[in-house]
Structure 1
């Protein structure tokens, strides 16, 4: 796996990890995995261009 995931709760983390293992084993399909993602993972925040610019300036990232 890549970066750490944000889970809505410890129970949802355990469920999602199990579903991910089942998906990798070919026992559940992509659509089902997407449903687990939606129900278990915290939503990704959308940033405006201005918020990204301010964040980059604050963190001194070029």
Structure 2
């Protein structure tokens, strides 16, 4: 089996919603549970990524929809 148990359960939840056996709120809860973990980056890793992309801090911040001071 190539899929994780969470992926299988999530697909089952979507199928139940599609046939009307699960409401939208419950499906959203399943969606939230199935989000991938957020990877954290150090300041030096972010700087390396920014330099690799040849982007200024302001441009990189715009890519990420955040402020330059965050970058």
What TM-score do you get using the length of structure 1 for normalisation?
A: 0.55
Kindly report structure 1 stretches of 4+ aligned residues shifted beyond 3 Å: none
For residues 25-36 of structure 1, the aligned pairs below 5 Å read 25-36=19-30
Q: Between the two structures, name the one with larger relative contact order (CA 8 Å, sep ≥ 6).
A: 1
Unaligned 5+ segments in structure 1 are 1-8, 53-62
Report Cα offsets for 1:12-60 as digits up to 9, x if no partner: 1000000000000000000000000000132689x841458xxxxxxxx
Structure-2 residue corresponding to 1:18: 12
What TM-score do you get using the length of structure 2 for normalisation?
A: 0.49
Give the total of aligned pairs. Answer: 43
CA distance in 2, matches of 1:44, 1:25: 32
Question: 1:42–1:27: structure 2 CA closer, same or farther, 3 Å change rule?
Answer: same
CA distance in 2, matches of 1:34, 1:44: 18
Report the structure number with the largest CA radius of gyration: 2
Question: 1:48–1:32: structure 2 CA closer, same or farther, 3 Å change rule?
Answer: farther
